[in-house]
Amino acid sequence: MGRLQGRSAIVTGGARGIGAAIARAYAAEGARVVIFDLDRTRAESTAAEIGAGCEARHIDVSSEAAVEGAFVALQADGFECDLLVNNAAVQREGALADQTVDDFHVVVGTNLLGTFLASRAALRGMLERKRGVIINLSSVLGLTGDALLPIYAATKHAILGLTRSTAVAYAASGIRCVAICPGDVDTELNQQYFSSQPDPGAFRARLEREYPAHRMAQPEEIARIAVFLASDDASFINGSHVLADGGIMARLFDLYE
């Protein structure tokens, strides 16, 4: 029997990358999974690949009406959200002086407002049932900064504050809220970042050299952490984050190559 047998999970941004890996891992552990994603075609393809027990919903997590409507519709179908993974994220590359107000609203709307809206909707049912786990995807950029991702980094810092506040508010009701802070992961979002550089291949190689193991993470490595945090094995982990960065933040810089 899987560690998540009999539970129901929503994974936002589950069409690709880390989200798809988490959806896949949760289904393998026995959970019923619903993917929320703005990319309908890709979400449906991922759900079909995962198979029975997984479905896709075309949802813009930055829209209050869309998120509220999705939860109402799922509840009407008998779906009770035991596990929520707030993974949906976008980024706009550029130094702060070059960013626009539209950049700000797009990134904050998806990354932070989306996390707030989905959490708020999920909490209503969790409070009724006195159980639930919310997992928020932050980042190493929730702990540090990046010259070309200032708005993205700001949202990832804010997600950690939201995680802690949610945890302390609802722990007595049997609800946990935790975060994962991955380092660079080999996903399309990171490919987008590399593509913003003059020489994407050289930039990727330079970035990977910064990691002690000289590589990025694979999405499945983050998904395994998400399974553990959602399971009863992590029953006393609350209001904190798991840093999954391959050791990159364990040193200031490398003097010895």
Q: What is the CATH number of the domain that holds 115?
A: 3.40.50.720
Residue whose token pair is 């589950």: 14
Residue from 109, 115, 119, 161 nearest 137 by CA: 115
Q: Give the pLDDT of residue 73.
A: 98
> Residue 122: inside a domain, yes or no?
yes
Residue 56 lies in a domain: yes
Name the CA radius of gyration of the chain, rounded: 18
What is the C-alpha to C-alpha distance for residues 128 and 121, in angstroms, rounded to an integer?
Answer: 12
Strand, helix or coil for residue 243: strand
> From CA 225, how far away is CA 235, in angstroms rounded?
14
What is the CB neighbour count within 10 angstroms for residue 69? Answer: 14
pLDDT of residue 46: 98
- Residues with catalytic annotation? 152
Residue-level pLDDT at 190: 86
In a domain, 253, yes or no: no
Please, how many CA atoms are within 13 Å of residue 126, restricted to the half-sphere of its CB?
29
Can you give the pTM of this predicted structure?
Answer: 0.96
Q: Which residue, chain included where needed, has tokens 């969790």?
A: 126
Residue 202's pLDDT is 93
| pLDDT the model gives residue 256 | 73
pLDDT of residue 257: 62
At 86, which helix (H) or strand (E)? strand 83-86
Residue type (1 letter), 105: H
For residue 252, tell me if it sits in a domain. no
Q: Distance between CA 31 and CA 47 in Å, rounded? A: 13
| Structural domains in the chain (count) | 1
**Successive 10-residue mean pLDDT values, the chain, 257 residues:** 96 98 98 98 98 97 98 96 98 96 98 98 98 98 96 98 98 98 93 87 92 96 98 98 97 76
The residue range of the domain holding 57 is 8-245
